[in-house]
Every structure is written in C-alpha cells, then in structure tokens.
Homo-oligomer: A and B are copies of this chain.
Amino acid sequence: MSLPPKAPPKRTLTLRDVSEASGVSEMTVSRVLRSRGDVSPATRERVLIAARTLGYVPNKIAGALASSRVNLVAVIIPSLSNMVFPEVMAGISATLESTGLQPVVGVTNYSPDREETVLYEMLSWRPSGVIIAGLEHTDAAQAMLQNAGIPIVEIMDIDGTPVDSAVGISHRRAGRQMAEAIIAAGYRKIAFLGTMMPHDHRARKRLEGFEEALSKAGLTLVDREFYNGGSALLKGREMTAAVQNRTPDVDFLYYSNDMIGAGGLLYCLHQGLDIPGKIGLAAFNGVELLDGLPRQLATMDACRYEIGCRAAEIIAAAGSNNVVELTPTLQRGDTIR
C-alpha cells in the first residue's frame, strides 16, 4: 500500500493555509473559491492549484456564519420506506439541483413529537426553507414554523390552513371521487381496509371523504379492517381474507394504499374471484409497482413527483403564501367494472 502523496495533515486546513501556499490574502482565496468579485486569471489559477494540491475543503460552517447564507433546505417527511416519499424527494432534488440549494431529509415516523424534535434540530442549522409533510403539527412546531422567517411549504395535503405555502391534493376530495366512481359502477357492499396510524391524517381524510360520499348515496361501509406494521403486501392478503370471511357478500374493497391493495389483488386472483364482476378493488397512490401486477389495480395518483417539484420551486423563489392544489386523476385499471 502506497502512502498518499501528502501525509494526512493533523490539523484541518483553513483559508490561511491556501493563502500562504499561494501567496495571496485569505480574502482573495475566498473570492476565487466562490467565483465572486474580480480576480486576475493568473492568481485565480495559482490559488486553485494550491487549494487542489492541499486538498482544501472549505468550511461551510464558518462561511454560513459570516454570510448568514445557508444553502440547505430542510425536508421533513414521515417515512422513507413506503415508495411515496422517495418520489417526492426525487422531485425536490431534481428541481433544487440547478439552484445551488441542497435538500436535507429528516424522518418522523409519523410521530408528532419526533416531528417537533426534528424540526427544531433542522431549524437550528438555519436552512433557507422548510418543506414539511402535512398540515398537522404540534403547537410548538407550528410556532417554530411561524417564526422561522423563512419560506415554509407544507406538502401532500391542502385540506386545512397552511402556515405559509402549501402544495398538494385534497385527500378528502380524492376519497369522495373514488367513492362516487365505485357507486356509479354499481357496487353497494363496500369495505375499507387501511392503516391503523392515528397520525396518518391524509389516509384519515381520504376515508372521511369516502364515507361522506357513501352516505350521500345512502350507503355505509359494510366492513372495515385496520393493520399496522409488517409487510404491507402480506397484510393486504390477510386483511382481505379477514374481510371476506367476516362479510362474505362484500362487493368492493377500498384500500388506503397501493401496497395493501396489491396484496389484496393477488389474494383475490388466487381465490379465483371474478374481478371486477363479482368484486371490485381500488387503492391509492399510483405507485409504479402496480404496473407489474397481473391485473391493473384501480388507484388514484397522488402527484408525488410534481408535489416535490412545485414545493422546491416555491422555496427556490423564496415565495410565500402560495397554495397549489394539484388534481389527482382516477386510474380505473381493470378492477372496477
């Protein structure tokens, strides 16, 4: 094993080191490294070579303190493991890419207290903006967002009052629309299968909208089943089995997310049930996974990527008080007749 060209320095390098190595002032080095102000091509070259040779990495902490500019955007989301937020992240990253801003992710696991902690932690780094999932926060979190003095975008949901800006869809409406489509297709014995998470407000609102539309048509859910934890695909199977055993005449299954819906679909296919004739299925999100299933599951896309893009645009423009409502489209697939 050969040693690196320079023995690794004990002390981490500062502007002064580069300045000494290149024979100009620290200020000039700073100018070169940030491409700001006039520097002659000759010095610029000299400085760059010195910096590169030494392996200098600027200290953004010092830079940020001095300039009170931080190129970080706090992104606070409930989870990374369910396919939906990674896609939002992709939209955010893609849009931020060209702006010099950098997303920093914090995960709350659907816990309001954890959200508060994560938010506090991130605000203490004085980011240029905050993108946060949902409109429901603890009072303290709400206050912090209020007083942060930076652009705040609450994403995913617009059924409520945003602190500042919001980008999302109306989940209540999404639930309502799905119910209407199901009723119009002639289904009457409708069951709901979803997560047990008290803090998944968006799933809750979809269910509320759904039931609202049912009751407007004089219907109520014939059954409901909740789960938490474990493999969503497997849970989808199990819950579907449970509902069908308990309520044999059920003719429609509305799932709160695609993953359990996919599990349910696989189960029903395995049982050889007549889909969509005897029983219909629908879910929510429009994840790409569905494309690979044997039958196309009805769903409603949540505009995840676009939500990310629009939110990032607002932050990049330092905008405030924008509310952007996106409209999800119903994808009927092959599981509604």
Contact = CB atoms under 8 A, between A and B. Distances in A.
Interface of A: 1, 4, 8-10, 12, 55, 57-62, 64-65, 70, 80-81, 83, 86-87, 89-90, 93, 102, 104-105, 107, 120-121, 123-126, 143-144, 146-149, 161, 230-237, 262-263, 266, 270, 288-289, 291-294
Given A10-B149, A93-B107, A236-B292, 13 more contacts: A55-B143, A57-B123, A58-B124, A59-B124, A81-B86, A233-B291, A233-B292, A234-B291, A237-B292, A263-B292, A266-B292, A266-B293, A266-B294
Contact of A126 (B59, B87, B104, B149): B59
Copies of this chain, count: 2
Contacts of A107: 89, 93
A239 to B, nearest CB: 11
15 contacts: A12-B149, A55-B143, A57-B144, A60-B125, A61-B125, A65-B65, A80-B90, A81-B86, A104-B104, A231-B288, A233-B289, A236-B292, A237-B292, A262-B292, A270-B294
A87 B80 CA distance: 9
Nearest to A270: B294
